[in-house]
Chains A and B, each alone.
Chain A
């Protein structure tokens, strides 16, 4: 079994109001060392079949998991057996 970790996050130049709200909340709690928070999404995909998997994940991202207008993505493939 393989575990694919897909991280999706807003592009750098795009404002993240959610991240800003979390930053403010952390500051209120006294965690002032945090300068910026960016909130993203994390998908875990599980599969036994890793044939051509890199290009298939890219296709999944492009077609569904990621809106390329506003989001960037990276992923890793781990052996989860």
Chain B
């Protein structure tokens, strides 16, 4: 299975993301620079966190026009898994691959600490290796992670099962405690917490690991 980790000027979680995928021997993972125009041959694309283009204008607003993003649109339409974490989530929202927006944290502070999350829907290609309502501890590290959508969008996300993760103790003002959502097709995930930072007990926890295993399972089942 081949995984692409996109790299923009200002990405800084790309090595962690690559490292997380490389823990699985079935996975061949490589960086794909923002200037590339093809994602052919990849089974999964990960958009890592960081401060792409210095967060100028709005987080993710400039990165969204990188050449690789056109390829990512097509990749996402093909139904293959796309995961965006933190700034990656912001980029996917700006690109219109996910619904809603991320505002400045309610308390204005940049928050960097472990947060408790609940798996709201385990029937997705990203969460199948978790238990329903499982409580996870996954770190967050963001200044603009305050998820917003209007009531109508929320109702749709909710009824389609597109809300995958909720915060147990809302750290940033996110609407209805939302921490991670997917698109209506279920193959594009965006989340503020960093699962790639909790994949080895030596580094403080392994609650992120089942997410990577879920995606791997999905891809292996598809090709089997």
Partner of A14, one of B57, B99, B103: B103
Q: Let me know if B103 and A15 touch, CB within 8 A.
A: yes
Per DSSP, are chain B's interface residues mostly helix, strand or loop, or mixed? Answer: loop
- Give the distance in Å from the alpha carbon of A14 to the alpha carbon of B150 in the complex: 10
Complex interface residues of chain A between 5 and 27 (CB less than 8 A to chain B)? 10, 14-15, 17-18, 21
Q: Let me know if B61 and A67 touch, CB within 8 A.
A: yes
Q: Which residues of B contact A15 (CB under 8 A)?
A: 103, 106, 173
Tell yes or no: B148 within 8 A of A by CB.
Answer: yes
Tell yes or no: A65 within 8 A of B by CB.
Answer: yes
Q: Which residues of B contact A67 (CB under 8 A)?
A: 58, 61, 94, 101
Tell yes or no: B67 within 8 A of A by CB.
Answer: no
Q: Which residue of B lies closest to A66 (CB)?
A: B58
Known contacts A15-B173, A17-B173, A21-B108; A70/B103 CB under 8 A: yes
Tell yes or no: B104 within 8 A of A by CB.
Answer: yes
Q: Let me know if B106 and A69 touch, CB within 8 A.
A: no
- Give the distance in Å from the alpha carbon of A15 to the alpha carbon of B173 in the complex: 10
- Give the distance in Å from the alpha carbon of A1 to the alpha carbon of B173 in the complex: 44
- Give the distance in Å from the alpha carbon of A54 to the alpha carbon of B104 in the complex: 30
